[in-house]
Amino acid sequence: MFAGLMGVQWLVAIAIAVWVSPLTWKAGSSEVHPHIWAALLLGGAITIYPAILGLAKSGATSTHYIIAVAQ
């Protein structure tokens, strides 16, 4: 259950980043805001390991601690 929750939290963080700050403007040109890239890349890096552990070793105490830290 928590492996799925980690994925949902990641998707919600991406949606919030897109909603709050979708674009940045610099001298008349529009670019994707760094918050969106951070939500995609950093959020994915933080989410993937606990989600894999949640699927592979769902009952292990170490998995519980890793998921708690990632959240």
Q: Is 1 helix (H, G, I), strand (E, B) or coil?
A: coil
Categorize the per-residue pLDDT at 1 as very low, low, confident or very high, splitting at 50, 70 and 90. Answer: confident
Residue 3 has pLDDT above 90, yes or no: no
In tens, the pLDDT along 7-58 reads 899 999 889 888 887 777 676 667 777 888 888 999 999 999 999 999 999 8
Residue 4 has pLDDT above 90, yes or no: no
User: Who has greater pLDDT, 28 or 65?
Assistant: 65
Judge contact between 33 and 23, C-beta under 8 A: yes
Q: What is the DSSP string of 4-68?
A: HHHHHHHHHHHHHHHHH--EEEETTEEEE-HHHHHHHHHHHHHHHHHHHHHHH-TT-HHHHHHHH
